[in-house]
Structure 1
Amino acid sequence: MRYGNALRNAVGSPPTTPLIGIYDMYSASIAAQHYNGFFVSGFGFAASHYGLPDIGFIAWPDMLAFVDRLRLAFPEHHLLVDIDDGYVDAEVACHVVQRLERTGASGVILEDQRRPRRCGHADGKLILPLEEYLEKLQLVLSSRKDMVVVARTDATEESEILRRAAALAETEADVVLVDGVRSVEWIRKVRTVIGDKPLLFNQIAGGKSPRLSLSELTELGVDVAIYSTPCLFAAHGAIDGALSDLKTADGRLPDARKSGSIGVKGATELLEKNISRHHGILRPARV
């Protein structure tokens, strides 16, 4: 499998590698015009596919089907997939990892939360005993072939953050993530305690972590940054604004030619790329 090694090489080469959180095929189609790596966000997937918060509703067959569609449309993009806690059971986690790798996922993130789980930037998170998580992680690592595995801790108490980060760095996981890290100082502490193990940072609007540029993250020794929600939240704002304008205009649509907004032609041209990308050509839109 080449996808895991491609992501591993990107993560291992400066500067910080950005992976953009996408929540459906259309958001991925837009993101593909700007970035060559995606993060399949659990927050975005739960919101878009179920209309529910990120508290454990995702069924792994649904995630697998989504990744399969993504890989078909984006044969060269990095796909890092959020698998939460591995869907509770360690054997299920191993099965999902094997299926995702055969589907073409580049990597997965496995967290140490226990149910009921929460978004990594929410309050009230519960975590597994470290030994129990390490056992699950080791089974997942032994199940993958080439796939990148990110070991994630959701610990919030300072000494436990450092203890777990150090323990995760000692495993064969490719990358370590401390989710919800609250300051630049703590990024530096985690960077120190994990040694030369690659470090991932989660950028989420309105979350607990500081907003940092890629240049700043590179200086801090962060190897990869996931942007979980900019597409989802931008769509939220744009849809809300467009419908407010439509209501104000008594239901009259804006003239796309004058307003510069997207119309049928622009959308079709975007989606045509998901067909032609396989052939290395760009076909003109048929409208």
Structure 2
Amino acid sequence: MRYGTALREEIGRGGVTPLIGIYDMYSASLAAQHYDGMFVSGFGFAASYYGLPDIGFIAWPDMVGFVQRLRLAFPEQHLLVDIDDGYVDAEVACHVVEQLELIGASGVILEDQQRPRRCGHAAGKRILPLEQYLEKLDLVLETRSDLLVVARTDATEESEILRRAEALAATDADVLLVDGVRDVEWIRRVRAVAGSKPLLFNQIAGGLSPRLSLTELEDLGVDVAIYSTPCLFAAHAAMAEMLEKLRTNDGRLAEAGDSGVGVASSTALLEANISRHHPRRADLAPRMGSRR
């Protein structure tokens, strides 16, 4: 199955392709009921797997292992994977790309940040010299066979944003991401210098970028939208509320009907992930790419 081709074709159909940020297998199970594509968020994975902020703690074997479990459970989903800066070294980045393509990832996002890295919507980001990042990106592009590659810049200075966007658009990367775009006018300016290169927009609750609908993004010429943290933040809020109620209610659980979630519904959700319940791989290609 050529997962990179499937995502590439989906993006090429027009409209905006939404990819929902997930942080563990349970959130992925829920996201798969509503959307055809997932974004394997570095922010979410650092939070859920390590209990740490998104500042460079992720080890590449952990991310590869997570994506392997995702692909086994969700053979029809697009899986776009955040690999940060490729885990520092260009050789490591290429090795990770080969591993991810082998296990069935659809694509990766490679950023131009220097270590110590930061979430793209946080202060204090530093970027690599453009030539150094382009060298790493070119090696990754030479290494991939079918994998879709998103070139990402975290530049914050206005002239540098446009300089890098134009340079990245001229590469063989499939998609361009300028992270932390602060307003609609800057989306238009990036779109103008990106030429025909598909454009990705990342919005995160409490982040730097405006909250825009898919219709608004399409009007701005955006091709892909990733939602990094809605599942993580919704779980945070729901768990905090439940624990407060449990504490104030003398430890008495609420009825399952109050939330609609109980043993039976949770088990049914997870049983769908058992690999023997899935279509054979030969049957997957015609089904991938259909909008839910």
TM-score (structure 2 length as normaliser)? 0.94
Tell me which residue corresponds to 1:261.
260
Instruction: Report the alpha carbon displacement of residue 13 of structure 1 after superposing the two structures with TM.
Output: 1.6
Name the amino acid aligned to 1:169: A
Deviations 1:20-73 (A, max 9, x none): 000000000000110010000000000000000000000000000000000000
After superposition, where does 1:182-221 map in structure 2 within 5 Å? 182-221=182-221
How far apart in 1 are the matches of 2:12 and 2:220?
A: 15
Instruction: Report the alpha carbon displacement of residue 203 of structure 1 after superposing the two structures with TM.
Output: 1.2
How far apart in 1 are the matches of 2:259 and 2:67?
A: 32
How far apart in 2 are the matches of 1:98 and 1:260?
A: 42
The DSSP-based 3-state class of the residue aligned with 2:149 is strand
The DSSP-based 3-state class of the residue aligned with 1:20 is strand
Name the amino acid aligned to 1:137: L
Tell me which residue corresponds to 1:239.
239
The DSSP-based 3-state class of the residue aligned with 1:81 is strand
The DSSP-based 3-state class of the residue aligned with 1:80 is strand
Instruction: Report the alpha carbon displacement of residue 248 of structure 1 after superposing the two structures with TM.
Output: 1.2
Tell me which residue corresponds to 1:25.
25
Tell me which residue corresponds to 1:62.
62
The DSSP-based 3-state class of the residue aligned with 2:161 is helix
Tell me which residue corresponds to 2:146.
146
How far apart in 1 are the matches of 2:89 and 2:52?
A: 22
Runs of 4+ with >6 A deviation = none
Is the 8 Å Cα contact of residues 73 and 277 (structure 1) preserved in structure 2?
no
Name the amino acid aligned to 2:90: A
Q: Are residue 115 (structure 1) and residue 115 (structure 2) matched?
A: yes
Tell me which residue corresponds to 1:3.
3
Name the amino acid aligned to 2:261: I
How far apart in 2 are the matches of 1:14 and 1:3?
A: 18
How far apart in 1 are the matches of 2:225 and 2:86?
A: 21
Deviations 1:114-152 (A, max 9, x none): 000000000010000000000000000000000000000
Moved more, 14-23 or 260-269: 260-269
Instruction: Report the alpha carbon displacement of residue 277 of structure 1 after superposing the two structures with TM.
Output: 4.4
The DSSP-based 3-state class of the residue aligned with 1:53 is coil
Report how many residues are paired.
279
How far apart in 2 are the matches of 1:261 and 1:268?
A: 13
Name the amino acid aligned to 1:107: G
Instruction: Report the alpha carbon displacement of residue 14 of structure 1 after superposing the two structures with TM.
Output: 1.6
Q: Are residue 128 (structure 1) and residue 128 (structure 2) matched?
A: yes
How far apart in 2 are the matches of 1:141 and 1:277?
A: 35
How far apart in 2 are the matches of 1:103 and 1:129?
A: 32
Instruction: Report the alpha carbon displacement of residue 260 of structure 1 after superposing the two structures with TM.
Output: 3.9
Tell me which residue corresponds to 1:34.
34
Deviations 1:174-228 (A, max 9, x none): 0000000000000000000010100000010000000000000011110000000
Tell me which residue corresponds to 1:176.
176
Name the amino acid aligned to 1:23: Y
Instruction: Report the alpha carbon displacement of residue 278 of structure 1 after superposing the two structures with TM.
Output: 1.3
Instruction: Report the alpha carbon displacement of residue 265 of structure 1 after superposing the two structures with TM.
Output: 0.2
How far apart in 1 are the matches of 2:250 and 2:175?
A: 52
Is the 8 Å Cα contact of residues 18 and 225 (structure 1) preserved in structure 2?
yes
Q: Are residue 270 (structure 1) and residue 266 (structure 2) matched?
A: no
Tell me which residue corresponds to 2:156.
156
Larger relative contact order (Cα-Cα within 8 Å, sequence gap ≥ 6): 2
* Alignment RMSD: 0.9
Is the 8 Å Cα contact of residues 74 and 277 (structure 1) preserved in structure 2?
no
Instruction: Report the alpha carbon displacement of residue 261 of structure 1 after superposing the two structures with TM.
Output: 3.0
Tell me which residue corresponds to 2:12.
12
Deviations 1:54-106 (A, max 9, x none): 00000000000000000000001000000000000000000000000001000
Name the amino acid aligned to 1:141: L
The DSSP-based 3-state class of the residue aligned with 1:97 is helix
Instruction: Report the alpha carbon displacement of residue 256 of structure 1 after superposing the two structures with TM.
Output: 1.0
How far apart in 2 are the matches of 1:12 and 1:217?
A: 15
How far apart in 2 are the matches of 1:247 and 1:212?
A: 37
Moved more, 94-103 or 267-276: 267-276
How far apart in 1 are the matches of 2:167 and 2:122?
A: 24
